[in-house]
Structure 1
Amino acid sequence: MWYKQLCSKSFSNLKELEVKHCDSLLNIFPHFFLGVFQRLEILRVTDCASLEEVFQLQLQIQMLDIEEACIVTSKLRQVGLFRLPKLKHVWNKDPNENISFENLREVHVQECWSLKTLFPISMAKDFQQLESLIVDSCGVEEIVSKSFEESDQHEMLFEFNQLSFLALWTLPNLVCFYPGMHNITCPMLKRLTTSWPTKTKMFGNVVSQLLPVGKIIPQLEHISLTADDIAMITDGQFAIDLFSHIKVLQITEYIKDSVVVPFHFFRRFSNLQKLKMVGCNFKEFSPYEGDVGEERDVVTMLPRIKKLTLQGVDNMEHLWKQDSPFHHICANLETLKVSECDSVISLSCASSSFQNLTTLDVWNCKEMVELITSSKAQCLEQLVTLKIGGCEMMREVIASDGDEATHHEIIFKELKYLELYDLQNLKSFCSGNYTLKFPSLDEVDVSFCPAMENFCNGALSTPKLQEVETERGVRRCWDLNATIEQLNKEGTEFTEIYIHVNSNLNVSRLKKRTKIAYNCTKLDDVIR
């Protein structure tokens, strides 16, 4: 990358360097880089197909005399390495005491599958200022490598005193954080997230290696756990108040023979506000199986969350029932997001927890035929935002349960934004003979709902609505029913035109309604 030797002042003021799409590069910084890039603070390297190493430290160390080697300090603060398939080393040699990277604040490494280890041990011992470490989709087997000089009997202490965010995602080859005896302190850790493939050869247990048993990290607010982590916690291997400061909990890849989640696990998270479950196979949240008095005492100890996200919880048909302890956990729920939950058919059973709900997002739930029944829809009176998309079996949002005579009016008094997107079988928002009132609704987006014949069969009131966003653009709207009916009459074949100067287009991924134009030099080539 650099032509032979550079003058020591060539890039003496350079603070930021970004390298992209340099497919012939084998390394970024040769042995003389510290003398030339004295003030470099930010480094980003992306999509370099042949890159094998970033820093050549071996020759660097050989060229420094002893006095210089003890005081050479890099000012590098941020390192980002992305999509480097042949990267084997970030630092090709342990600098020991010769070169310091003590100013590093942020390190983000992603999609570097040839990388086996990230930091030499001498560097990791000197990360007093490191604030954020993200390692995502890499082949690393250990985060910190062990030097030949280190004794197996000596316990290594890693003090990450400023580390606030640690993320280890999709590392199928990871065996350990450090291969020798070690202890980790992260007193400022605020967010710890891990995500593993189902069959990962994971190193023991994430929680046991990264959290001190019997100690509390007062700043820790966000953590992600796997089924093995949960098993350790419920077995009492950690102090009961270790997680009392946690506000955000993510449960990932809960794939167990048991089809229920032990709700008493949540008692440890007394200040929990947000819960996210991703890639889990349970069918329901477990009911309590003790006596009534004991159940009452246990339930009162459960947290009350404000936001719940369920993503890829494939076996659950209904969220929870009113007599479930999870009803207590969600009693103050304000935001609910449900996506890729292929077995969920309706949210009606959980509607008793929707009294305070302001945001509801439902996406790509293949078997969902309705959002909620008419008698339960009254629970959504505080709802402000409703988004539904990609639910291919949904025929209506509010389904009639035959109560038109007693519940003839449904009012969404706070709803301001409604989005219906890519609902291929949706016939109507509500097909029952109800009066629907939306006194606050002023934004509606109805796109790619080709089977939608009308908005509702009963009376409809939307006094603030003036326009509707569609896949064909914005439509003026004085009567939402009439607008939907008109869109249906106009047909559903909307043509999107893609203009390309060459034919490098994956045609198989485009939808039927897409018109393709190749080798166009002017618009006349398309519109004929």
Structure 2
Amino acid sequence: MKLITPSTVRSLVQLKEMSVEECETLIEIVENEGDTTRCTEIIFNNLKKLFFRKLESLTCFCSWNYSFNFPSLEELTIVECPNMKTFSQEILDTPKLTKAICRWKNGRNWEKKNIDIESGLNTNIQQAYKKQKQVDSNLKELKLTLSGRDVKSIWQGEFQENFGKVKTLQLIKDEYANIPLQILNKFNSLEKLILKVSSYEEIFSFEEDKEYTGAHTKLKILEFWGLFNLKCISKQGSRFNSIFQSLHSLEVNHCHNLMTLLPSSTSFENLTTLMVSYCNGMQNLMSSSTAKSLVRLEDLSIKGCEMMIEVLAKEGDTEKGEIVFEKLKKLYLYSLESLTCFYYGNKYDNLKFPCLESLKVTECSKMKTFSRGGLSMPRLKYLNSRYCLESDIDRTIQQLQNDCSELWKRFPGSRV
């Protein structure tokens, strides 16, 4: 994601301060527009202060063939932008800049670099970037943020640091189609893996000419953010059972090419939290057979998946079956405009939630029933904030969605 185009900059003639904070998938500020082979000057005439904070995907101000002139810029502050390697590619003119600071977290401590204006912004930002990537072998817990090129360098042995202490790894802007499974052998204490704004079509893969050295069984948390090309977690699901079996939490956001999330060939028997948001190509979350493997799932949240028709898809024979979410306590369905039901199946199927205490169904205007077959939720007392008996779930769902529809007609843009 980018913020503005060069033509937009030209219209911001009175802009004096720019502050950009906590944009998870923002890669650069100024995006390409027009002919990239010709160097064009972009001028921010009146900009005096420029402030960036917690932009974890930001790699630069602009990566394209533009020169930048900031005739009035006096202050530049860069805070917690761990992937920012450079400011811009071409000429950068900042004649009035007197204060430039780069700050980042190293473990629990803050580090600060006062940028030497005379030696150049790009040089200083590159130095700060390299310093952030240094791994202290004495640290027992470290969050490390890398780009795709860094991953390849580590895999090929170009880095000599001890990555065995790293517990949290964040990969951003990786241009490769997948992560070679062998990279996990370098991070043998890894517990949390975060993947952002990358080109992965599948997450893990084996290199055919490389020997697989063993399963990585410590990974507990897996998060995807803005993986727009992702089609599946793995095409060879059974080979990765030892990885996925150890997962406790899976969070997936803005992965629009993902048609279904959990492959039926893979077991997620230790998964307790599953959160899916804004995956617009997904028509169902998983198969009914996969649901049966989620024996420890406690929290399920699905939000803003506009193509999702049902949460569970029927798989296999049409005989009477039973699906039990043994530990599920919270189920949240929000803004699923195509959702018709949680599970259609057949009228002989039984869907059981023996521990479900909290059920919320909001802005699911096409949802008229929860399940076609038998439904058991013995501990459920409230649906959203309404008192609801088990026998009244379908009627209450219909009433809630009707209320939402009426409210939207009266007050367009309102939310319940």
Q: 1:484 & 1:318 partners in 2: Cα distance? A: 32
1:417 has 2:364 as partner: no
Q: 2:198 & 2:138 partners in 1: Cα distance? A: 27
Indicate which of 466, 478, 483 corresponds to 2:381: 466
Structure 2: unaligned runs, 5 residues or longer:
1-14, 19-45, 62-69, 89-103
Deviation at 1:350, TM superposition (A): 6.1
Indicate which of 286, 293, 308 corresponds to 1:372: 286
1:442-453 correspondence runs (5 A) = 442-453=357-368
Q: 2:387 & 2:105 partners in 1: Cα distance? A: 56
Q: Which residue of 1 aligns with 2:3?
A: none
Q: Which residue of 1 aligns with 2:190?
A: 272
Q: Which residue of 1 aligns with 2:142?
A: 221
Q: Which protein is bigger by CA-based radius of gyration?
A: 1
Distance 1:138 1:307, change over 3 A: closer
Indicate which of 151, 164, 188 corresponds to 2:108: 164
Q: 2:357 & 2:381 partners in 1: Cα distance? A: 7
Q: 1:344 & 1:468 partners in 2: Cα distance? A: 29
1:14-25 correspondence runs (5 A) = none
Q: 1:205 & 1:363 partners in 2: Cα distance? A: 36
CA RMSD of aligned residues (A): 4.3
Deviation at 1:410, TM superposition (A): 0.4
Distance 1:437 1:366, change over 3 A: same
Q: Which residue of 2 aligns with 1:288?
A: 206
1:226-265 correspondence runs (5 A) = 226-239=147-160, 242-254=162-174, 256=175, 258-265=176-183
Structure 1: unaligned runs, 5 residues or longer:
1-48, 53-83, 90-106, 120-132, 143-159, 169-173, 182-199, 499-509, 516-528
| Partner secondary structure for residue 266 of structure 2 | helix
| Partner secondary structure for residue 446 of structure 1 | strand
Deviation at 1:223, TM superposition (A): 1.2
Q: 2:105 & 2:312 partners in 1: Cα distance? A: 53
Q: 1:436 & 1:205 partners in 2: Cα distance? A: 57
Deviation at 1:497, TM superposition (A): 7.8
Distance 1:330 1:134, change over 3 A: same
Deviation at 1:475, TM superposition (A): 4.4
Deviation at 1:352, TM superposition (A): 2.0
Question: Amino acid of the residue matched to residue 461 of structure 1?
Answer: S
Indicate which of 317, 321, 333 corresponds to 1:408: 321
| Partner secondary structure for residue 460 of structure 1 | strand
Q: 2:84 & 2:189 partners in 1: Cα distance? A: 34
Scaled by the length of structure 2, what TM-score is found? 0.69
Q: Any conservation in 1 of the 2:237–2:265 contact (CA below 8 Å)?
A: no
| Partner secondary structure for residue 249 of structure 1 | strand
Q: Any conservation in 2 of the 1:287–1:325 contact (CA below 8 Å)?
A: no
Scaled by the length of structure 1, what TM-score is found? 0.56
Q: Which residue of 2 aligns with 1:441?
A: 356
1:143-158 correspondence runs (5 A) = none
| Partner secondary structure for residue 323 of structure 2 | strand
Q: 1:396 & 1:161 partners in 2: Cα distance? A: 42
Q: 2:123 & 2:386 partners in 1: Cα distance? A: 52
| Partner secondary structure for residue 348 of structure 1 | coil
Q: Any conservation in 2 of the 1:269–1:303 contact (CA below 8 Å)?
A: no
Question: Amino acid of the residue matched to residue 153 of structure 2?
Answer: M
Indicate which of 253, 259, 266 corresponds to 1:345: 259
Deviation at 1:141, TM superposition (A): 5.4
Deviation at 1:487, TM superposition (A): 4.0
Q: 2:105 & 2:300 partners in 1: Cα distance? A: 43
Deviation at 1:460, TM superposition (A): 0.6
Question: Amino acid of the residue matched to residue 218 of structure 2?
Answer: R
Write out per-residue CA displacement over residues 357-385 of structure 1, whole angstroms, 9 at most, x where no aligned residue: 11100110000000111122101121100
Q: 1:328 & 1:305 partners in 2: Cα distance? A: 10
Deviation at 1:312, TM superposition (A): 0.8
Q: 1:347 & 1:484 partners in 2: Cα distance? A: 25
Deviation at 1:220, TM superposition (A): 4.8
Write out per-residue CA displacement over residues 482-505 of structure 1, whole angstroms, 9 at most, x where no aligned residue: 32244456673224987xxxxxxx
Total equivalences in the alignment: 341
1:505-520 correspondence runs (5 A) = 511=413
| Partner secondary structure for residue 280 of structure 1 | coil
Q: 2:54 & 2:301 partners in 1: Cα distance? A: 34
Deviation at 1:514, TM superposition (A): 7.6
